[in-house]
Structure 1
Amino acid sequence: MYRPRLLIDGDTLRLEEILQVARDEVTVELSPEAQECVRASRELVEKVAAGDTPAYGINTGFGTLAEVRIDKKDLAELQRNLILSHAAGVGTPLPLPEARALLLLRCNVLAKGFSGIRLETLQLALDMLNKGVVPVVPERGSVGASGDLAPLAHLALVFIGEGEAFYQGQRMPARQALERAGLRPVVLEAKEGLALVNGTQAMCAVGTLLQLRAETLALVADIAGSMTLEGLLGSHKPFLPEIHDVRPHEGQKACAAHLLRLLAGSDLVETHVNCSKVQDPYSLRCMPQVHGAAREGLAFARRILEVEVNSATDNPLVFVDTGHILSGGNFHGQPLSLAMDVTAMALTQLSSISERRVEQLVNPALSNLPPFLAKNPGLNSGFMIAQVTSAALVAESRVLCHPASVDSIPSSAGREDHVSMGMTAALKGRQVADFTRTCLAIELLVASQALDYRLPVKAGRGPRAAHELVRSRVPTLEKDREIHRDIEAVCELIDSGQLIQVVRAATA
């Protein structure tokens, strides 16, 4: 079966291409130019390793042991010991898509030609990616100092036939997985172990998939909000462009324009043009301002990630043009840590305002609809506890918004005296994304019930399409049933991308 090909060169990888690899949709190859860069940097490392001048990580120890000189006969053992000793991660393994993204990102960094790795070692990584040998990488254990040392060490274990890997859906010893895929482990030479464990690729892998998901959820938030607005007979006027042109934040303007597209073609808006209500609550009226601010935060995070995925984050770095091998701090994860903290806060704002809109829907004093949107309320509780669930998820998300990026704990005997906690930021951001998705699913579900009460009058094209899609999976709530099943069904519509696809087609 034909598979598209993705050429990597260390400089041009896009976030969307990382998602393709995470989903195992393409074959990854190294560009000819990158191959030459890798060969040239390796030649310089071998020249230095053959000499007597100390060079960090090539013929010395690591971290606070950098002043310890290593004999030439022990250089291979030095690299192997580095991988073994740093593989101290704990906890649940990264999900396969994140682990695949991690392996791709490490390959892309090595392809830049600043790492000094052998081409055959990099090729093994690419072969693993293309043949489905995915290292088992525990989630916990990185402080984002010299990058993601523990996660990357677990990744590198498989290169030398140690550790564990997933292959064809099964978890097994790495050597067995390589054998089944027709691959052989390598024996690491000078600097190669260090080239495999220095860098920000674990936090970057989790962060990239989080970013793409968060951008989708920002669109879902607009869709859910537009459904609630129509269900509550809210005004479209707060989204008119002249309001946002005089406060021209790009995210705010984009959200307002999106809401107007979604609401176009509404018959419901005509039913209350002469109503006595002057203004809608903020959770409806201020969607462009709140959703837009979240979009701005996500745009910042995207800019950081787009630079990071194509950056050299090793230490030391090998500069062929000058012949220098320089130690620096490109492995420090602070840019990503701050970006992922912002992502978590942006998503929590989306879930927080969504929960307030759900309250507007289920509270009869606010909606002029039956209590909790129940048929025969009293006998039936309707969506009473769906709102409670949303509130619980928002509360936990707010706890997770405590910034990891300011929570440094020194390590490595004080040598790494300021660390980023970038992986922590990415992991908690991922959890916030899960909660936000579920809060938005609850709103879509409850707003669909409100729109049922407005039939046969039709909502705008976007809310109408979303409502019809929800109803194709979840029937109207006529009497109480297990709401969690309905929530899960709508979550699937979000996760699969079907909701976005259907609404886009209806509003094109």
Structure 2
Amino acid sequence: TQLMAGIGALGHHDAMRLALTADVVGAMSLEAMMGTGAAFAEELVAARPHPGQVASARHLRALLAESEIWASHRADTEHRVQDAYSLRCMPQVHGAARDALGELDRVLRIEINAATDNPLVFPSGQVISGGNFHGEPLALALDYATLAVTELASISERRTARLVDAHLSGLPAFLAERPGLESGLMIAHYTAAALVNELQSLAHPASVDTIPTSANQEDHVSMGATSALHLRDAIDRAEQVIAIEALCAAQGLDFRAPLRPGAGVARAHALVRARVSHLDADRSPSPDIGAIRELVHSGDLLANGATGDAHA
């Protein structure tokens, strides 16, 4: 269980940072596609007050504040009334992921302060054999966290798919400067789709399986170490998926100039552009994805792109 808790604690730290960063990158995509932040209204999310949903919506509202892009079509009755789920339901999906990670946090705080040896020796001198070593509480929470990370990547890939689709985004096909002559960021989206497919395999819960050992004395085991490793690997893939969305969203925001996005989105956009230049002709997306992934993993994209209380 010490192995599970150790890997799990590191994973929780990275996954929570990823959930917050998903808000920043999702807000970039919403602005690039001229979406609306109306669905993040305080009174609307308060009608279904899951803590993660409320916090994610608050974060998104802060990121979109002072947006010239949103203001340009806010009163346009011909503009779409509501966005696709991958944009409109960010607080519900990102927030549910936050809440799932909150459950892992609760379990880890108990576990790392607990006695899990066997037998346990008490101050009275009593020695009791028991099952505090069993990893089931950790295994279930770790599998739940991996599901949450997978969903963050899944909805991110859906936003990327919309960004590169000219019919859905209103942007040039595949975000290319010369659509039809260049592939733009088409291959970057392929990469995101492949990574999400890997994540869907990693999300299969290890805790639903057991293989008896020790001459059937240990006839039910948690497989929690596998759960912890799955979470670690899932975060690695999901960071890349979020980085690909940021790459595409930044390109889309370039096309919306001179209109400026919200202040928080503008800071995130500037940070991406400080690492990766506008795609003005076809090039390998790999170095760009890697550079933005470093921003995602380090937390720099969150720290420099977020406004308001992202952790509330």
Same fold (TM over 0.5): yes
- What corresponds to 2:20 in structure 1? 219
Q: Does 1:271 align with 2:51?
A: no
- What corresponds to 1:205 in structure 2? 6
- What corresponds to 1:247 in structure 2? 48
* Matches of 1:278 and 1:243, distance apart in 2: 16
Q: Does 1:415 align with 2:232?
A: no
CA displacement, residues 381-435 of structure 1 (integer Å, 9 cap, x when unaligned) = 0110111111111111111111111111111000001000000000011111011
Which of 392, 398, 401 does residue 203 from structure 2 map onto?
401
- What corresponds to 1:374 in structure 2? 176
- What corresponds to 1:297 in structure 2? 100
- What corresponds to 1:387 in structure 2? 189
Runs of 4 or more, structure 1, over 4 Å off, are none
CA contact (8 A) 2:177 2:280 kept: yes
One-letter amino acid of the counterpart of residue 471, structure 1:
R
Which of 270, 286, 291 does residue 89 from structure 2 map onto?
286
Which of 233, 244, 265 does residue 34 from structure 2 map onto?
233
- What corresponds to 1:315 in structure 2? 118
CA contact (8 A) 2:146 2:230 kept: yes
One-letter amino acid of the counterpart of residue 461, structure 1:
A
Which of 438, 444, 449 does residue 251 from structure 2 map onto?
449
CA displacement, residues 465-486 of structure 1 (integer Å, 9 cap, x when unaligned) = 0100000010000001110000
* Matches of 1:342 and 1:314, distance apart in 2: 25
Partner-residue secondary structure (3-state), 2:121: strand
- What corresponds to 1:143 in structure 2? none
- What corresponds to 1:350 in structure 2? 152
Identity of aligned residues (%): 52
* Matches of 1:462 and 1:416, distance apart in 2: 53
Report how far residue 312 of structure 1 moved.
0.5
Report how far residue 233 of structure 1 moved.
0.5
Report how far residue 296 of structure 1 moved.
1.1
CA displacement, residues 152-181 of structure 1 (integer Å, 9 cap, x when unaligned) = xxxxxxxxxxxxxxxxxxxxxxxxxxxxxx
CA contact (8 A) 2:31 2:69 kept: yes
- What corresponds to 1:333 in structure 2? 135
Higher percent of residues as strand: 1
CA displacement, residues 195-239 of structure 1 (integer Å, 9 cap, x when unaligned) = xxxxx1111111110001000000010001000000000011000
* Matches of 2:197 and 2:264, distance apart in 1: 29
Report how far residue 492 of structure 1 moved.
0.8
Cα RMSD of the aligned pairs, angstroms, is 1.0
CA contact (8 A) 2:21 2:299 kept: no
CA contact (8 A) 1:362 1:373 kept: yes
* Matches of 2:297 and 2:95, distance apart in 1: 22
Report how far residue 507 of structure 1 moved.
5.0
Instruction: Report matched runs for 1:491-506 at 5 Å.
Output: 491-504=293-306
One-letter amino acid of the counterpart of residue 218, structure 1:
A
Equivalenced residue count is 307
- What corresponds to 1:364 in structure 2? 166
* Matches of 1:476 and 1:425, distance apart in 2: 39
One-letter amino acid of the counterpart of residue 83, structure 2:
D
CA displacement, residues 232-264 of structure 1 (integer Å, 9 cap, x when unaligned) = 000110000111111111111111111001111
Partner-residue secondary structure (3-state), 1:476: coil
CA contact (8 A) 1:351 1:440 kept: yes
Which of 60, 63, 68 does residue 262 from structure 1 map onto?
63
Report how far residue 276 of structure 1 moved.
2.8
* Matches of 2:198 and 2:284, distance apart in 1: 23
Report how far residue 281 of structure 1 moved.
0.3
* Matches of 2:296 and 2:101, distance apart in 1: 19
The normalised TM-score by structure 1 is 0.60
Higher percent of residues as helix: 2
One-letter amino acid of the counterpart of residue 502, structure 1:
N
Greater C-alpha radius of gyration: 1
CA contact (8 A) 1:341 1:403 kept: yes
CA contact (8 A) 1:301 1:343 kept: yes
CA contact (8 A) 1:222 1:258 kept: yes
One-letter amino acid of the counterpart of residue 114, structure 2:
S
| Larger RCO, structures 1/2 (Cα 8 Å, 6+ apart) | 2
